[in-house]
């Protein structure tokens, strides 16, 4: 393999990384983390931690592919796909409940935070029913998604997202002339991926900041989010994620 070919493949990895970042699950996770925060700086930080978690997993898998030619078993994709789908369906139900209960004062709230609130509500109901001593508190409404949660979400998406572009990267990296060249391709892929993640974050921040100024627009965003979660949840749960069109 000539030097020019190797350089070309490494540069192509950067383009593939940018393309890989603009995908359905990435957009859903980043917009969810950003949209659920009233503080735009905190929303950006959470999105950054998501990107770090995702990119670290890609680097680790890329190193394994480069040095050992090893990738995740194919059955992992199916399991993670259905796990993501079920999670989206649960979160959609929680969003619907939130919209119905707070129609006049509904605000954008992270679906991960809604999930925490849902678990807390069930726990407090059961505890109060059986012990009669546990008092619920409105403080849970201010529960914040931590950077650790955002990092974990990113890592889960990295583990269960061996899309065609990612598989092409691993195959190319493993087949390059040297481990150094292969790992260079992986790093450039991750740089492209990080750029697209930050682009999605910036667009999300601008969009949500604009939406918060108009109540009807915020409610419309909520309805669209519910619809998106239901459709994506059903698609992933039934195993039809591969039929989704590419976004770029």
Look-up: residue for tokens 């925490």?
116
Q: What is the rounded (10 degree) CA torsion for 111, 113, 118, 121?
A: -160
Asked if the structure places residue 169 within a domain, the reply is yes
54 located within any domain? yes
This prediction's pTM: 0.68
Report how far apart, in Å, the C-alpha atoms of 242 and of each of 24, 231, 238 are: 11, 14, 11
Number of domain units in the chain? 1
Query: Helix, strand or coil for residue 132?
Result: coil
pLDDT at 140: 46
In a domain, 186, yes or no: yes
180 belongs to a structural domain = yes
pLDDT at 162: 54
Residue 248 lies in a domain: no
Could you list the pLDDT tens digit for every one of the 248 residues in the chain?
566 776 777 787 788 889 888 877 788 778 777 876 667 888 899 899 999 999 998 888 888 877 776 655 666 667 767 876 776 677 667 667 666 766 555 555 555 555 555 555 565 556 666 655 545 444 444 456 678 888 888 887 787 655 555 655 665 665 665 777 778 888 888 999 999 999 999 998 887 777 667 767 766 766 776 787 788 778 878 877 777 766 55
Token pair 């109540």: residue: 215
Is 47 within a domain? yes
pLDDT of residue 195: 95
pLDDT for position 234: 85
Residues 99-123 as b or e (16 or more Cβ within 10 Å = b): eeeeeeebebbbbbbbebbbebeee
The range of the structural domain enclosing residue 34 comes to 3-243
Residue 80, in any domain of the structure: yes
The pairs formed by 78-83 with CB atoms below 8 angstroms and a separation of 24 or more are 78/239, 79/160, 80/156, 80/159, 80/160, 80/161, 81/160, 81/236, 81/239, 81/241, 82/236, 82/237, 82/239, 83/160
**What pLDDT is attached to residue 142?**
47
């Amino acid at each position: 393999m000539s030097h020019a070919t190797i350089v070309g493949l490494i540069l192509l990895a950067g383009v593939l990384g940018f393309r890989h970042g603009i995908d359905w699950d990435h957009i859903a996770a980043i917009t969810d983390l950003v949209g659920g925060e009233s503080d735009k700086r905190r929303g950006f930080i959470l999105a950054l931690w998501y990107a770090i978690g995702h990119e670290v997993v890609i680097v680790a898998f890329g190193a394994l592919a480069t040095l050992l030619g090893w990738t995740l078993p194919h059955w992992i994709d199916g399991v993670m796909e259905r796990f993501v789908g079920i999670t989206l369906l649960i979160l959609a139900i929680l969003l619907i409940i939130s919209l119905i209960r707070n129609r006049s004062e509904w605000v954008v709230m992270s679906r991960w935070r809604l999930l925490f609130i849902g678990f807390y509500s069930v726990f407090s109901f059961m505890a109060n029913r059986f012990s009669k001593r546990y008092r619920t508190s409105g403080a849970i409404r201010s529960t914040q998604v931590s950077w650790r949660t955002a990092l974990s979400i990113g890592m889960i998406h990295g583990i269960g997202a061996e899309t065609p572009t990612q598989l092409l990267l691993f195959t190319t990296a493993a087949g390059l002339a040297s481990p150094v060249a292969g790992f260079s391709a992986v790093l450039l892929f991750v740089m492209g991926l990080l750029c697209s993640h930050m682009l999605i974050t910036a667009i999300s921040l601008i969009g949500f900041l604009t939406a918060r100024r108009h109540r009807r627009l915020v409610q419309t965003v909520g309805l669209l989010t519910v619809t998106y979660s239901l459709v994506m949840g059903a698609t992933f749960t039934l195993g039809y994620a591969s039929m989704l069109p590419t976004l770029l």
